[in-house]
Structure 1
Amino acid sequence: MFMMMSVILVMRGRNFLGGACFSMAALTKFFPVFLLFPLVAYVLSRRKGDLKTGAADVAMAAAGVAAVALIIFAPQIIDGNIADAFRFISDRTGSSSGSGSSSVLSFVIGRSRIIVYLLVIAASALVARAIYRADAKDLDTALLRGSMITMALTMAYPPATQYICVVVPLLAVYAVSINRDYMLSWKLLAVGATVVMTVSLSTHLLPIAVSTGWIEVSSLAHFFDVWNAGGTWSVWNVQFVIGSIFQYFGSFSILLFAYYGRFRRYLAERRGADPA
């Protein structure tokens, strides 16, 4: 929600509030950080030809980011343990300490995650360049499209359902108001997210069972045991893999819709340029 609010507020010229919402979005869920380049490019492009005013707008947005971050980190700053507030970065990259084989696996997974994130940063810079070069009449569409593409790229790792929430709002707005072809991406993500979410259905229903008594806790425990029974490939594993495949196809289809037409035009131009 905060991520979508930051995009909308920046589009409406509310740079301070947009920066504040961006800060809350990034500190709530790490992925919106990758929208930094596209948002800055949009603000500067809107003031194209007036660099001083554009820089002032960016500074105003940065002030919003800093103000909210200062409020959120105030307890850590007062206690003198501000470094602990940024531990989520090392946790996200898998660089936290550990021992044994689990630490080796964590190291490998963490490094692959870092590689994906570095590629997303590079891609977001290219997206930002396209936004900056967009015509004034197409600038809002370029920001929505570029933000959606960037968030779809972050889904390369990992595909868990809770991370889909960062791309769905942008996809919904773009599919409804600009290009309905993206409804296919929406459907794929919806199916995949539903399948993955129901993997841990017993866990989701447990608080309701305990607080209301509408469901027997023992029934949920039995359901959990059945779903996780089996050898290497339990029902849980199969369901998670199927849901993840749908989610990956949903994310990939966003990129396909965004660039397939451009790729075809590029091939046509190359064929036209080849000598007979």
Structure 2
Amino acid sequence: MRISNSFGLLIAAALVATPAMANEGPLRIAVDVPYMPYQYQEPDGTITGFEVELIDAVCVEMQRECEWVKQGWDGIIPGLLARKYDFIASAMNITEDRARQVLFSEPYYQVPSVWVGQAEAEVDVAGDLADVTVGVQQGTIQDRYVTQFHPQADIRRYSDSGGVINDMHSGRLDLVFTAFPLAQEALLGEEAFERRGELITEPESIYGPGVGAAFRKRDQELAEQFDAAMAEVKANGTFDQLQTKYFGE
């Protein structure tokens, strides 16, 4: 468990400038890593990435110290409900099923999904995927999408995105369905892999309105403070700066 180095000085300054914060403990934030470039871990153990830096900036605006807690995806909502941490910020799409369990912030970005195939194998992702091995991270919207629209495929589900990427590199998968920025980071820069089809952000019944932070339903005040701070981070240019840093113009 570490606080990201990003915006660390700003957080320290906010702590000094706001003595009242001494009466409040740090906010603990759950994150599943790796999910590059949104969340990943440096060799020294520091957790960083687009969403990590973004939420660190939100914490500064909230005048709260924040700590990042690694948590596997399958247990991330149960861990929140069990009070292991205060909220989740881990590229979690807002969906009706999840909203029955947790209270979401306003959506703050949307992540398109993409099909990536082995370059040497011609596979039509709009057609029948029977006998095609497809890798997805278990419990994600990509898992739900493939399960709903391509049940005939040989779907391989992995506990983390690293397993999906590793098996694609080793040739054990024909296709991967994953977040587009993750595909750009880990697959699409190599000649062995090719993008298949268009970027996907629908249907809304699966993708929802976008990614948000998840809170316990009783923590309405904390969620409102988060939304107000996120609005300020977008207004002051920090959000745009981080988008450019991680995704380019």
Q: Does the TM-score normalized on the shorter chain lie above 0.5?
A: no
Higher-strand-fraction structure: 2
Q: TM-score under structure 2 normalisation?
A: 0.28
Higher-helix-fraction structure: 1
Higher normalized contact order (CA 8 Å, seq sep 6+, divided by chain length): 2
